[in-house]
Structure 1
Amino acid sequence: MEGIDFASPHANYRSPLSSRYASRDMRYNFSDEKKFSTWRKLWVNLAKAEKELGLDITDEQIKEMEANIHNIDFDAAAAEEALTRHDVMAHIHVFAKQCPIAAPIIHLGATSCFVGDNTDLILIKDALNLLLPKIASVIQNLAKFAEKYRSLPTLGFTHLQPAQLTTVGKRATLWLYDFLMDENALRVLKENLRFRGTKGTTGTQASFMQLFNDGAKVRALDRRVAILSGFEKTYPVTGQTYTRKLDVQIVGALSSLGSSIHKTCTDLRLLANFKEIEEPFEKSQIGSSAMAYKRNPMRSERCCALARHLITLYGNAANTHSTQWLERTLDDSANRRITLSEAFLTADSALTVLANITQGLVVYPKVIERRINQELPFMSTENIIMAMVKKGGDRQECHEKIRVLSHEAGAQVKEHGKDNDFLDRVRADPYFRPIVAELQSLLDPSTYIGRAADQVTEFLEEEVEPILSIYKDALDNEKPVSLKI
């Protein structure tokens, strides 16, 4: 590999999540700057709480630590870690050199997981605060879309075969409901999120008992550090770490969000193939390097690609939790460094694209109407039978005539590639003369959609609006979502 400049940023691997897809705020949330400055904030909070509870710690020591929270010498920390093979001790050494007065009390009584796990919980909380408004944005976009097209009939599909009519808006509520479930799952997890606190090396708080020799003070320390760090409660019992079952729940909810994104965007890709609905397509956008006419649903495809990765991460979290021996093993560490950050960065990336898609969906009513007209004659058979019965016809006889004519028309479509001529055959058969004048009204698509339009209105008012009200301030200040690439 002679001649390669390995110092160049272009000669080193960079995750597409950080270089291409994820938002600035989510990238920062999982950055080294955020992680290690949070470690330092936790050491400050620990010192403050220990001072409040009677340990000999001075205001000068605390101020010195606070003044250096963001003054991180990353090169020095990397050099220390190369020597010690321990990331927490490396940063303690560097921080202590910058804070000579506070050095004796930094990390006092704590174990590595005091900063490691508590920081992860802070990052998870902050990541959820970033992610939930993005889900709300998608929900709002789909709600507006559903309301606008609540009454527009469209051909329904079961097994991807033509079925009874629905409406464009009603179909959108199916996507919406999935995202409501995702919002609820992640919001509940955020509301129930607790702090690991000051639990010691195996969760017994033994080191803090050595410092205070007072169980009440040790318990108060746990609560006080949590409050200083933005949490109301701590997990009542832990080993060395908070239970990795929490990671299973968090990544599981994010993976579930991935399945919603994939389902929605797969539907949009199918509808793009039908030419019924398209994602936004910019004037200068190129669909294919070879086929200039193409309008590929590349944004929906990107969402599906990201969502598939997100879905697979659940297995990492579940397997990591299941293999944590007794009070803890370190085989969780490398996996969690990848899984937790990638789960949030991937969800953030996919939601950014989906928000862009859903704010600019394009509907083609004439194409939708044409597809309905191709299939509606067959769907009208029951209505035709009922109309004939009302005119005095025999249901069984009418049913048999309809069966024969519909099969003949079906053969014209499937075997000869012709249009559906079922209604022409009905009009030409003297048996159906009593209802020929009614045929047009029997084919009004709006009479085949049941309560779809009302269902949309009821759903938006009763289920969607209360959720959007939670995020009103964020949504009111929201700007249209544009994509870098």
Structure 2
Amino acid sequence: MSSNDKYSTPLSSRYASEEMSHIFSVRNRFSTWRKLWLTLAKAEKSLGLDIITDEAIAQMEKHLIITDEELEASKKQEAIVRHDVMAHVHVFGETCPAAAGIIHLGATSCYVTDNADLIFLRDAYDILIPKLVNVIDRLSKFALTYKDLPVLGWTHFQPAQLTTVGKRATLWIQELLWDLRNMVRARDDIGLRGAKGTTGTQASFLSLFHGNHDKVEALDQKIIELLGFEHAYPVTGQTYSRKIDIDVLAPLVSVGATAHKFATDIRLLANLKEVEEPFEKSQIGSSAMAYKRNPMRCERVCSLARHLSGLFNDAVQTASVQWFERTLDDSAIRRISLPSAFLTVDILLSTMLNISSGLVVYPKVIERRILSELPFMATENVIMAMVEKGESRQECHEQIRVLSHQSSANVKLQGGENDLIERIKKTSYFKPIWDELDVLLDPSTFIGRAPEQTEKFINNDVKKALAPFAKYINDETVQLSV
């Protein structure tokens, strides 16, 4: 059967990066098992187990990357023994005959399955964090570029006071900074299960070292060091606690929420024709409507972010129903949810990186919308200017109220423009400030400290947060899959 005749997840076949797909690939999983068996053998040999020979170590080192033929042989063996780990022990032993008798010595299946998963989770975070850093960096440059450009603010998606295009971007960036903090924390908290034995008591290793507790502890420490981790979990059952999966997935799901909000804002702005995601020269927006410029990148982000949020419940439910030292009802769901979560965030960040690198701003459209709403916002300024000329605030308020309602009716009932200022200019009562109206309506006087807030936030908070990751920041163009 051709691969085209079988379902494959679009996460890996269509969207995710090659490096993230590789981490959760079949070859990497079983090659990592071999690395773990080699690490165990080296650690045991260094602590005095003479039955592990140099030849055994050499053969294992030579065959760490599992071949296609060995993968096929493992499938056939598993069909016989109905146990994936033992199938691979058997095939690895056939490939490395000098090591056949000592592969997996003292270990339980979770020595390879759980430790491998923890390695994958750590390595996957090492792919995501640099991508997030670059999203933040590019949005920060965007924010600084447009920190002074006034734009109509929205609350309840109703016209509100003005802000700036750059200030609005800082709202996205701040949430991404929190995501970065949470992701780094989760990544650094990941430890190894280590060599803990069948129920976590290390009984098999204590027997192997003839009751020498110090050597058992030294074995665990050597494995930690050889695999490049800072620590192992001090106690485990047969598995590492599935609560760790909650801690690992929580920051990913939170990134999804940030991504969804960011992409939704861009989609709404695209409808307003104020800001758009990149649109390639030959890109087609609709098969029927040739003029369409659909925000497909942001729609992809929203779609996948919804999928991501559901995966968190998998981790929560799985952790809550584990019995005593372990059950196996965690296995199948974790094979799906853990890779899916990392693949999904990988896609979200790659897409956001593409979007943030090419956001298109339309200042004239933004200005036109401001001018359609600004007269109403400027009424307080008009009233204060008239009071300074000696007029009664109450009388001025009533004059403005009447003209505002007339202008509103012209907009809503007649489909006309907001002509409040023209009405003010034609009302003799306001003659004392006619010459000041242009100044009173200058959009830059309605944005408060938005430019200053933006500049301070980027130069202080963002700069400080990204400083440890400076080596990852680049200007590479991000090409998306179809």
TM > 0.5:
yes
Amino acid at match of 1:55: L
Following the alignment from structure 2 to structure 1, what is the Cα–Cα distance between the partners of residues 270 and 463?
29
Q: Percent identity?
A: 58
Which residue pairs with 2:197 in the alignment?
200
2:83 is the alignment partner of 1:89: no
Give a deviation string over 1:283-320, Cα, whole Å, max 9, x none.
11100000001111111111111111111111111111
Gaps of 5+ in 2: none
Gaps of 5+ in 1: 1-6
- Match of 2:476, SS state, is coil
Residue 42 of structure 2: which of 38, 48, 65 is its match?
A: 48
Q: How far 1:471 sits from its partner (Å)?
A: 2.3
Following the alignment from structure 2 to structure 1, what is the Cα–Cα distance between the partners of residues 6 and 256?
29
The more displaced of 7-16 and 65-74 is: 65-74
Following the alignment from structure 2 to structure 1, what is the Cα–Cα distance between the partners of residues 66 and 417?
74
Following the alignment from structure 2 to structure 1, what is the Cα–Cα distance between the partners of residues 10 and 66?
28
Following the alignment from structure 2 to structure 1, what is the Cα–Cα distance between the partners of residues 40 and 239?
17
Q: How far 1:396 sits from its partner (Å)?
A: 2.1
Where in structure 2 are the equivalents of 1:138-287 lying within 5 Å? 138-212=135-209, 213-287=211-285
2:6 is the alignment partner of 1:12: yes
Amino acid at match of 2:36: L
Task: Answer yes or no: is the 8 Å Cα contact 2:197–2:203 preserved in 1.
Answer: yes
Root-mean-square deviation over aligned CA pairs: 1.0
Amino acid at match of 1:31: S
2:111 is the alignment partner of 1:109: no
Amino acid at match of 1:129: D
Q: How far 1:210 sits from its partner (Å)?
A: 1.1
Residue 413 of structure 1: which of 411, 414, 433 is its match?
A: 411
The more displaced of 153-162 and 64-73 is: 64-73
Following the alignment from structure 2 to structure 1, what is the Cα–Cα distance between the partners of residues 143 and 285?
27
Give a deviation string over 1:186-236, Cα, whole Å, max 9, x none.
011111211110111111111111111111211111111011111021111
Report the TM-score, using the length of structure 2 for normalisation.
0.98
**Segments of 4+ in structure 1 off by > 4 A?**
none
Which residue pairs with 1:299 in the alignment?
297
Following the alignment from structure 2 to structure 1, what is the Cα–Cα distance between the partners of residues 198 and 170?
49
Where in structure 2 are the equivalents of 1:275-424 lying within 5 Å? 275-424=273-422
Following the alignment from structure 2 to structure 1, what is the Cα–Cα distance between the partners of residues 17 and 191?
26
Amino acid at match of 2:103: I
Following the alignment from structure 1 to structure 2, what is the Cα–Cα distance between the partners of residues 142 and 439?
36
Following the alignment from structure 1 to structure 2, what is the Cα–Cα distance between the partners of residues 445 and 249?
46
Give a deviation string over 1:75-102, Cα, whole Å, max 9, x none.
1100111111111111001111111111
Give a deviation string over 1:320-347, Cα, whole Å, max 9, x none.
1111111111111000000000000011
Which residue pairs with 2:59 in the alignment?
64
Following the alignment from structure 1 to structure 2, what is the Cα–Cα distance between the partners of residues 71 and 368?
58
Q: How far 1:60 sits from its partner (Å)?
A: 1.5
Which residue pairs with 2:128 in the alignment?
131
Which residue pairs with 2:449 in the alignment?
451
- Match of 2:154, SS state, is strand
- Match of 1:241, SS state, is coil
- Match of 1:321, SS state, is helix
Which residue pairs with 1:80 in the alignment?
77
The more displaced of 421-430 and 220-229 is: 421-430
